[in-house]
Amino acid sequence: MSDPAEPDPSDIPSRAAPPAPGPAAPRPDRYKWIALSNTSLGMFMATVDSSIVIISMPAIFRGIHLDPFAAGNISYLLWMIMGYLLVTAVLVVTLGRLGDIVGRVRIYNLGFVVFTLASVALSFDPAHGGAGAMWLICWRIVQAVGGSMLMANSAAIITDAFPAEQRGMALGINQISALSGQFVGLVLGGLLSAWDWRAVFWVNLPFGILGTVWAYRSLRETSARRQSRIDWWGNLTFAVGLGLLLVSITYGIQPYGGHTMGWLSPKVLTGLISGVVLLIVFVIVETRVAQPMFRLALFRSRAFAAGNAASLLAAVARGGLQFMLIIWLQGIWLPLHGYDFDDAPLWAGIFLLPLTAGFLIAGPLCGWLSDRYGVRAFTTGGLLVFSLSFVGLLLLPITFSYWAFALLIMCNGIGSGMFSAPNTSAIMSSVPATDRGAASGMRSTFQNSGMSLSIGVFFSLLIVGLADRLPSALDSGLRAQGVPPDVAAHAASLPPVSTVFSAFLGVNPVQTLLGPTGVLDTLPAHNRAVLTGKEFFPHLISAPFHHGLVIVFATAAGMGLLAATASLLRGGPATRAVAAEAKPPQVRAGSRRSS
């Protein structure tokens, strides 16, 4: 039987009489797998690039001759990481809505082109220092526009192509491709940046060229377009409001004046207040325009509202985990186990693979099972496993046994896999077919905003924990190795965020802190070797860092439990009622068991 969500049979060439239902079925059936394969490639490419830059930062900074510890250069580092996340968070709703109007496949295909061309430009950075950093930041933003086009429409294309009884499996595969790309990017970044930092952008080219040609040749529109006007005021207030909010959070974790962070900066406070006000104006605008970009009416569906609330909370809990674990491994655990700082980024990516493995195990299986037994048990149960893994991580000692660590992060990945695919299927199945582009963009916005928020939230919590204990530990540790009291006191007074980013970059900052003072040259050889060795700095920051980690992981566990509560409230079998309205009786009968 032909799937009702497949292309119109009139699109299939006929010989004479109209084709019978039997012979026409194979081609639409092939099309849905083509759509799934191409959109999964697009999501994989977009997420590989978001993480490959994170792990390659030390090589990139060396390649463009930029000192990461010089005053003001922390902003470059943050914008290289955060710029991509900010743009995708802001644009996916607009581009998903635009896909509903002009065609989801058209916007998706253009995303491949923009992403690939931006990757080429990134690899040919002609400048050094701050100018080189600005080149990378600007083209990363362009690249994020292409990534937003892919993210906003991939789930909608899949939802159009697959019947309800296969949708959880298909969206699960797409979600797995996205998350696995994040962690494959960590390993690829470690390998490629050791060869040439430009190679971390070259790796996008084969994916981009293949995906672009394949998409333009194979994908086609399978849903009716909705002719409507673009909601300019809604787009403007949403983009500026959310952008101000996320940019202010980015600057809030940087030092300001004599403060360890910038939350009291007039610029940050003005941005936060203005962002919130504009988002309130956006909500008002969306309730008064005839054709809004953000379909607030969709939140009348309990399944849609609860699914997105759970997604946002889980994204906040999960988003900062990757950064925290990289800092923990690169800055402390790996050096204390004999790994060189230069090799730490690669090994950090390798040691985090159990997290990906857990997701790869649970994601497809639970997506498939949820199509048959409903989503609520999997989403709520997965979030409980997810939350308990954070409790286990906060109980680990700072110099943990790797197998205990691997088991816990695998449980975290399993919990995420149990939740993500069924939750995505439930959200997309709870809206009418004509609104799937907007719904896909809204879902992606909650996820991407959650990741951006998590970085600001978790870095702030970590820095608060470090600020209580790091200065005294650094001062006493330096004095114990013969560093003059005034020099030790000055080093200890530097903002903790510098220490956090030194650990994030896998760099021993003692040489940077003491080198310009000439103190190292006056110390005995033994003390100098201790200060610049693998173990002094990791030992020094381990206790303060663990104090901050306990705060971070306790907060993440709490958010995971809140997400589980939201998921539990999503409702019962009515979840797919809206989607079922557009399906013939024989299809609805095959999907009686739903969320």
Which two three-digit tokens encode residue 168?
A: 């959880």
Phi and psi at 239, nearest 5°, equal -65, -45
pLDDT at 385 over 90: yes
Pick from 140-149, 388-397, 447-456, 549-558: least confident = 447-456
Q: Which two tokens stand for residue 437?
A: 């582009």
- Do 80 and 51 lie in a common domain? yes
Which of 482, 471, 465 has the alpha carbon at shortest distance from 523? Answer: 482
- Whether 313 and 461 map to the same domain: the answer is yes
CA angle, corner 9, sides to 224 and 11, nearest 5?
A: 75
Give residue-wise pLDDT tens across range 164-214. 777 766 776 787 787 777 767 777 877 787 788 888 888 888 888 988 999
* 360 and 316 inside one domain: yes
**How would you class 308 by CB atoms within 10 Å of its CB: exposed for 0-12, middle for 13-18, buried for 19 or more?**
buried
Same domain, 120 and 163: yes
**Residues in a beta bridge with 407:** none
Same domain flag for 209 and 263: no
Distance between CA 297 and CA 294 in Å, rounded?
9
Q: Which of the two residues, 27 and 241, has the higher pLDDT score? A: 241
**pLDDT value at residue 574:** 41
Percent of the residues in the chain that have a pLDDT greater than 90, as a whole number: 11
Report yes or no on 524 lying in a domain. no
Dist. CA 466–CA 460, nearest whole Å: 10
Residue 466 C-beta-side C-alpha neighbours within 13 Å: 25
DSSP character at residue 13: -
Q: Is residue 594 part of a domain?
A: no
Q: What is the pLDDT of residue 298?
A: 82
The residue among 249, 265, 292 that closes a domain is 292
Question: Would you give the DSSP letter of residue 494?
Answer: S
Across 203-207, 305-309, 511-515, least confident range:
511-515
Q: Which of 132-146, 361-375, 400-414 has the lowest mean pLDDT?
A: 361-375
- What pLDDT, on a 0 to 100 scale, did the predictor assign at position 110? 92
Going by the DSSP 8-state scheme, the letter that residue 482 receives in this structure is: T
Q: How far apart are the C-alpha atoms of 25 and 10, rounded to whole Å?
A: 12
As a residue count, the chain comes to: 595
pLDDT at 588: 39
**Per-residue pLDDT tens for 83-95?**
887 788 778 777 8
Q: Can you give the pLDDT at residue 409?
A: 93
Instruction: Give the pLDDT confidence score for residue 71 in this predicted structure.
Output: 62
Secondary structure of residue 259 in the 3-state scheme: strand
Whole-number Cα distances in Å, 204 to 47, 116, 378: 11, 7, 34
Q: Are 238 and 179 in a shared domain?
A: no
d(CA 365, CA 292): 37
Side chain identity, residue 250: T
* pLDDT tens figures, 333-367: 988 888 877 777 778 878 888 887 888 788 778 87
Domain count for the chain, please give it. Answer: 2
Give the tens place of pLDDT for each residue, 49-75: 777 887 777 778 878 887 766 666 777
Q: Are residues 304 and 287 in the same domain?
A: no
Q: Do the domain assignments include residue 258?
A: yes
8 A C-beta contact, residue 585 and residue 366: no
> Alpha carbon of 4 to those of 21, 170, 585: distances in Å?
12, 16, 11
Q: Residue 473: count other Cβ atoms within 10 Å of its Cβ.
A: 18
Residue 444 vs residue 393, higher pLDDT: 393
Angle of helix 204-218 relative to helix 104-123, nearest 10 degrees, comes to 160
- 239 and 357 part of one domain: no
CATH number at residue 80: 1.20.1250.20
Which domain covers residue 428, as residue numbers?
25-230+293-467+541-589
Overall average pLDDT of the 455-469 stretch = 78
- 129 and 212 in one domain? yes
**Under DSSP, is residue 265 helix (H, G, I), strand (E, B) or coil?**
coil
Residue 102 lies in a domain: yes
Per-residue model confidence (pLDDT) at position 194? 72
Average pLDDT of the chain is: 78
Q: Which of 292, 307, 332 is the last residue of a domain?
A: 292
Whether 114 and 240 map to the same domain: the answer is no
CA gap 161, 37 in Å, rounded:
12
Q: In this structure, are residues 472 and 501 in contact, taking their beta carbons and an 8 Å threshold?
A: no
Residue 180 CA to residue 50 CA, distance in Å, equals: 12
Residue 305 has pLDDT above 70, yes or no: yes
Q: Under a CB-based contact definition with an 8 Å cutoff, are residues 141 and 3 in contact?
A: no
Q: What percent of the chain stands above pLDDT 70?
A: 84
Domain ends where: 246, 271, 292? 292
Q: Is residue 581 one of the residues assigned to a domain?
A: yes
160 and 249 within one domain: no
Give the model confidence (pLDDT) of 546-595 as tens digits: 888 888 899 899 999 999 998 888 765 444 444 444 343 343 334 333 33
Q: Enumerate residues 6+ apart whose C-beta is below 8 A from 401.
A: none
CA pair distance 269, 323, nearest whole angstrom: 25
Q: Is 482 left (phi over 0), alpha (psi -120 to 50) or beta?
A: left
Asked if 280 and 347 sit in the same domain, the reply is no
Residue 521 lies in a domain: no
Residue 446 lies in a domain: yes
How many other C-beta atoms are found inside a 10 Å radius of the C-beta of residue 290? 7
- 513, part of any domain: no
CA 173 to chain centre: 17
The closest of 206, 215, 250 to 87, measured between CA atoms, is: 250
